[in-house]
Amino acid sequence: MAFQFTDANFQETAIDNKGITVVDFWAQWCGPCRAITPIIEELSTTYDGKALIGKVDVDDNAELSAKFGIRSIPTILIMKDGEVVDTIVGAPSKQALIDKIEAQLVAA
């Protein structure tokens, strides 16, 4: 299951994380967000131990959304060692997301 990032745990789980972190900013009422949820869930299992993959509910975590300037959802941030290295706005294909994660793992 994908990790649940919150305003309270984001610093220690994503910013302070050494390695790759994938953060999906989403909302329950967003159709495209719900459409990619199975992809996020599957990749969180596939990359377990290699990358931390999780979700941020923008309605419950306004502080994080504001901090990263999230204006459209879904927005997916790919972070490396706590720094944003790639941003995807909109619903990517599974392969597009895999390609971006793999690119960061190779560069690690």
Residues with active-site annotation: 30, 33
DSSP conformation letters of the chain = --EE--TTTHIIIIIS-SSEEEEEEE-TT-HHHHHHHHHHHHHHHHTTTTEEEEEEETTT-HHHHHHTT--SSSEEEEEETTEEEEEEES---HHHHHHHHHHHHHH-
